[in-house]
Amino acid sequence: MALPFDQHEGEIWFDGSFVEWKDAKLHVLSHGLHYGSAVFEGERAYGGSIFECEAHTDRLFASAEALGFQMPYSKEAINAAKRETVARMGLTDAYVRPIAWRGSEMMGVSAQKNSIHVAIAAWAWPSYFDPALREKGIRLDISDWRRPDPRTIPCHAKAAGLYMICTLSKHAAESKGYQDALMYDYRGHIAEATGANVFFIKDGVIHTPTPDCFLDGITRRTVIRLARERGIEVNQRTIMPEEMADFEECFLTGTAAEVTPVGEIGPYSFVPGAITKTLIEAYAEAVQPAHAALRDVA
């Protein structure tokens, strides 16, 4: 059984200073726990360097603003704290999790007087999905839950409360033997997986949903740039579920998922092909330039 996260060894940056991992605690009556008033980021470090560190911090601050609270530290301080956390943990390849939440001064829907707390943790975390599945692609169920109308949630914030339907969707999928689930949006259009963006390929062209009610992922934007730099057309548009019958390849992107091939979504099948493999390699080179240089020399 994997070690519970509250039992790891090391240090966590907590409200401006480092504390022992086991001592990084919040009160049970924290507003963030009861009302989901928390925002976070998921980042990866490769070779000791956090990929798109500043972009993730920019989004963390934008998410906090969307939830109506102000970060108590500057972006520069958060960037420095993330890098120091990775270094103090003695990690080179790592997952990095900054999180900010409302404290416990007020307990109720209103929380204007609550202090804002920030913590940053880092740990070793290999592939999000079983590497053995990557060759033929992971299997996705189709979720019963849908990404909500942007008039009902702050859909472009990476906010804790917005992930409950993702947890429900992933649990349901895993109970059926799938690795993840595809979610439609409130209109019935294809949206995303539970924690990653989705791409499809047909006739050498990449198609991906327009992120108008879900996160425009940082990895998503990176992969789109990498594809276009290689002369691959990328079409961001509305995609209907029935179109999956005609797509040839499919893959997911995300900080945790990186670029992960998909072999099946419900009744639809895909075969990881040349474009998917090209982008897996391109992303690996983008996040690990030192390693890529070594391969080129070899």
**Cβ pair 194, 200 in contact under 8 A:** no
How does strand 94-102 pair with strand 38-40?
antiparallel
Residue 120's SS3 state is strand
Letter string b/e over residues 222-249, b meaning 16 or more CB atoms within 10 A of that residue's CB: bbbebbeeeebeeebeebeeeebeebbb
Residue 58's SS3 state is helix
Quick one: which H or E segment has residue 175?
Answer: helix 164-175
Catalytic residue among 22, 158, 202, 277: 158
**Cβ pair 137, 261 in contact under 8 A:** yes
Furthest CA-CA distance within the chain: 61
25 given a catalytic annotation: no
Q: Residue 211: what are its φ and ψ, rounded to 5°?
A: -80, 70
Residues acting as catalytic residues: 158
